[in-house]
Chain A
Amino acid sequence: MTEYDPAEALAEIERTQQKAYGEQYLPLWYVPGCVALVTFLRISMDFENSLLSALCALAVAAGFGALVALMLQRSRVRWTLRTWSPPALLVFAAWALLGAAAAYGVHTLADGLDEPWRKALAGGAAMLLLGATTRPMEHLVLRYSKGRLAK
């Protein structure tokens, strides 16, 4: 392989980084797993027994720890924040808000049900929506990261 000229070298840096971003996916269970834990926490906070609520909160904290540990154990690469362009960050934030909006909407629509069921349904809707749209969101983030060089 011969050396690149400067313009080719810059293009090669971007191509290499974009290709690498495209090869590492967020596990599909991760975000729904986080939503499930938050849903469980929200339901448990309504328990009349405060000791039980506290134990549930501890269990949720342990669950988050386990999720993060499992993801780190399985991931083959850890990206720096430099890889995120502002438009890519906006896409990610909008996607997270979409999940929250879906949960809020379902919670509002299910006003005839008991509160734990409303929260469970709202959490379930957010889990389904975010789980189903994880890959399209990643493709959008990738598209909006183009043109950015991580130095």
Chain B
Amino acid sequence: MNLDPVIHAPVRLQIMSLLAATVEAEFAFVRDSLEISDSVLSKHASALEAAGYVEIRKGHVGKRPRTWLKLTDPGRKAFKSYVETLQQIVRQPLT
């Protein structure tokens, strides 16, 4: 069974896991929760955006600029399929 290589990389797996539980999350919240730097999050979020899995939205709250991340529909489907594949592998008896 093949695991999606875009998701299976550790930092991207963490980003996808967090976003799968949310409608959308602020960039700084994801960064703080995963305890990674701005540049690492930015790099992996861009890779996920390029794969069509994550949407990056820039906006303002008052005068402060904010960036929001959310899973796209294909991203949510890919993550669901990824988790189901993992669960199937884990349930398989060793041969």
Contact = CB atoms under 8 A, between A and B. Distances in A.
26 contacts: A1-B11, A3-B10, A6-B3, A6-B86, A6-B90, A9-B8, A9-B86, A10-B86, A12-B10, A12-B14, A13-B13, A13-B20, A13-B83, A16-B13, A16-B14, A16-B34, A17-B18, A20-B18, A20-B33, A23-B32, A73-B62, A77-B24, A77-B29, A149-B83, A150-B20, A151-B84
Nearest to B28: A76
Chain A interface category by residue count = 20 to 34
Contacts of B34: 16
Contacts of B87: 10
Contacts of B14: 12, 16
Interface in B39-95: 61-62, 76, 79-80, 83-84, 86-87, 89-90
Please tell me the size bucket of the interface on B: 20 to 34
A24 B79 CA distance: 23
Q: Is the interface of B mostly helix, strand, loop or mixed?
A: helix
A10 B83 CA distance: 7
A42 B8 CA distance: 54
B90 to A, nearest CB: 5
